Amino acid sequence: MKTKTKQMSPEALKLIAARFKVLAEPLRLRILQELQNGEASVSEITEAVESTQPNVSKHLKMLQDAGLVARRQEGNTVYCSISDETVFELCDVVCSSLRDRLKSHAGAFGHTVVPARRRA
């Protein structure tokens, strides 16, 4: 028998949806992946994700507003780092689910397609 989970308030659901919305953009995920290696300047991030500085800055601002990224300024250079490491736990859960799903679908086609695991 299933136990009934406590219903979340509409406000809580909006906050959760907002978190998923921030993570629903491939470039923002690439930025987070880059920052997983440690603090980096905006120009280093821009080069690593192969985008433009204004575009990267826009996405960094969204990640900062969501509480996922912290920014600090040193002279004219802005450095960014991860401020909420739990984002990677969420990504691990999603990646694991996708990996399992791809394994089951790949078997139907006679192929093995498994995404690489995230580096620790």
The pLDDT value recorded for residue 1 is 60
CATH of domain 11-84: 1.10.10.10
- pLDDT tens per residue, range 73-117: 999 999 999 999 999 998 888 888 888 888 877 666 554 444 444
User: Pick from 49, 13, 47, 14: which is nearest to 29 by CA?
Assistant: 49
Question: Tokens 């969204």 — which residue?
Answer: 62
Percent of residues, the chain, with pLDDT higher than 70: 86
Other Cβ atoms within 10 Å of 102 Cβ, number: 15
- Measured in degrees and rounded to the nearest 5, phi and psi for residue 20 equal -65, -35
Q: pTM of whole model > 0.85?
A: no
Task: Enumerate the domain spans of the chain.
Answer: 11-84, 85-120
User: Pick from 54, 49, 43, 41: which is nearest to 25 by CA?
Assistant: 49
